[in-house]
A and B are shown apart, each in its own frame.
Chain A
Amino acid sequence: MAKARAPRKRPIRVLIAKPGLDGHDRGAKVVARALRDAGMEVIYAGLRQTPEEIVRAALEEDVDLIGLSILSGAHMALFPRVLTLLKEQGGQAIPVFAGGIIPDEDARRLKKAGIRAIFGPGTSLEEIVTTAQSLVRHPS
């Protein structure tokens, strides 16, 4: 007899969201497209998302990875809030990476707080894709 149903190939699911109030989403869209082209399923949540909305979307969509983009300067308030909510709701195993205008000192503190990777302006898309893939393979 034949074996059980063959499992379908499982693409990486990633949520791309922009917390905060700036309206500059070109960067997030470029990254979304690059991840798409790398074979991922990108849930694009769009602009002006609250941390609560981001975490809810991540859990409902059962993503493997979250990417946050921010240019407003509110990252020190919003990113840790996302991490806290994730932990509260049982999503602490989902790795979070970020991109935007984030000063080095802040980046160090955010990484300490649990943001797994931070990409500044000029990062190559290849680096972002490779990092995203390895974050999913090694979630913690």
Chain B
Amino acid sequence: MKGGSSRLPAAARAIVEGDRRALARTISAVENGDSTADSVLRSLYPRSGRAVVVGITGPLGVGKSSLVNALVGLLRSRGESVGVIGVDPSSPFTGGSVLGDRIRLERRSDDSGVFFRSMASRGAAGGVAVATREVSRLMDAAGFDVVLVETVGSGQVDVAIRNIASTSIVVVVPHLGDEVQTLKAGLFEIADIFCVNKTDLPGADLAQKDLAELVTLGEREDGWAPPVVGTSTIEPTRGIDALWEGVLAHEKFLDASGKRTTGERQRLSAEIVGIARDRVGQQLTHRLENDPSLRRLLDDVVARRIDPRTAAERLARGGRRSR
């Protein structure tokens, strides 16, 4: 047991003491933007930052869920506890969702060292949900050694996992496109590890070669050269150990190079600014719609007497005309 847990709010204490139901319920509260989660998040924050948080991303159907299952198996055999977040898309039309990442999870009904949570993206762009980072932090504070975050089947610009994970694995399969695809901006830029999955299929060698070549085309700003690992999740599985070794090597690099601290600072800076921007935005929306003098400002824009930029400047200054 960790010290000082008696001063935590009840739900937070239950979470650090291993109560999985309390963890599950708090995750729901975080997902729903329920303010009851705020005190739990606040009090558990100092206990986070211990887990290795790994993102698994890549286009749909490349085998992310199967890889997550294989990694969970490997990590459990090494005695590491694992929290998993599997994100799937919400319908932009109905808000509904089918969350199917759990289906690949092997029978572990009596293993308390694994906790799996499915999450719908709930309208967020970028491959994860708005609440994914905070949920990952809860699992971290709950004491899981490793948190695996599986993104929505990603498109080329879905790189939000970068803001959550310290190591990101980009998963591809053979025949996804020619080598020019690997040069394109976006997804391939965020890979700390490239994983060519389904090496049991023909063409895997070529895909690995193309990616290995991409890595040699230019040095990354941080000096890390992403390894290319071939894997197969069909029994007997192949490459899962090497994949995890790649993750550990990158984590070690982060520590040795000092990049962990700078990366963490950048991520947290972006997070703070993001939250503050949302709050300020909500306040401004509220005032523009409810403060009588600012409502006139909106009326003026609607009547085309002033333009939106001028009005926005006045709104930002609290409604005063420019000096």
Taking beta carbons and an 8 Å cutoff, which residues of A are in contact with B?
1-11, 13, 32-33, 35-46, 50, 52-53, 56-57, 59-62, 89-90
Interface centre among B21, B102, B110 (most CB of A within 10 A): B102
Q: Which of B126-142 contact A (CB under 8 A)?
A: 130
Interface centre among B33, B98, B120, B278 (most CB of A within 10 A): B98
Q: A4-B35, A46-B103, A52-B109 are in contact. Are A36 and B97 (CB under 8 A)?
A: yes
**Residues of B in contact, count (CB < 8 Å):** 38
Contact among A10, A38, A43 with B118 in the assembled complex (CB-CB below 8 Å): A43
A53 adjacent to B96 (CB under 8 Å) = no
B120 adjacent to A59 (CB under 8 Å) = no
Quick one: closest A residue to B120, CB to CB? A41
A residues less than 8 Å from B91 (CB atoms): 36-37, 39
Q: A3-B286, A36-B96, A37-B94 are in contact. List 17 more A-B contacts (CB 8 A).
A: A4-B35, A6-B33, A7-B33, A35-B96, A38-B96, A39-B96, A41-B96, A41-B97, A41-B118, A43-B118, A44-B103, A46-B102, A52-B110, A60-B24, A60-B115, A60-B117, A89-B21
A residues less than 8 Å from B32 (CB atoms): 7-8, 10
- State the 4 A-B residue pairs at the shortest beta-carbon distance, nearest first: A2-B283, A36-B96, A52-B109, A46-B103
B99 adjacent to A44 (CB under 8 Å) = yes
B35 adjacent to A61 (CB under 8 Å) = no
A residues less than 8 Å from B2 (CB atoms): none
Q: How many A-B residue pairs have CB under 8 A?
A: 102
Contact among A3, A40, A43, A61 with B96 in the assembled complex (CB-CB below 8 Å): A40
A residues less than 8 Å from B102 (CB atoms): 43-46, 57, 61
Interface centre among B20, B120, B287 (most CB of A within 10 A): B120
- Tell me if B163 is interfacial: C-beta within 8 Å of chain A: no
B279: min CB distance to chain A, Å: 7
Q: Which of B233-285 contact A (CB under 8 A)?
A: 278-279, 282-283
Q: In the complex the two chains form, what is the Cα distance from A88 to B278 in whole Å?
A: 42
B232: min CB distance to chain A, Å: 21
Q: A1-B283, A11-B120 are in contact. Are A36 and B24 (CB under 8 A)?
A: no
A residues less than 8 Å from B109 (CB atoms): 50, 52-53, 56
B95 adjacent to A5 (CB under 8 Å) = no
Contact among A36, A38, A62 with B98 in the assembled complex (CB-CB below 8 Å): A36
List 9 interface pairs A-B (beta carbons < 8 Å), by A numbering: A7-B33, A11-B95, A13-B28, A33-B98, A36-B91, A41-B90, A52-B110, A59-B21, A60-B20
Q: In the complex the two chains form, what is the Cα distance from A46 to B27 in whole Å?
A: 23
Q: A3-B286, A38-B96, A41-B120 are in contact. Are A50 and B107 (CB under 8 A)?
A: yes
- Tell me if B221 is interfacial: C-beta within 8 Å of chain A: no
A96: min CB distance to chain B, Å: 17
Q: In the complex the two chains form, what is the Cα distance from A138 to B181 in whole Å?
A: 52
A139: min CB distance to chain B, Å: 15
Q: In the complex the two chains form, what is the Cα distance from A35 to B98 in whole Å?
A: 9
B103 adjacent to A62 (CB under 8 Å) = no
B22: min CB distance to chain A, Å: 10
A residues less than 8 Å from B35 (CB atoms): 4-5, 7
Q: In the complex the two chains form, what is the Cα distance from A46 to B102 in whole Å?
A: 9
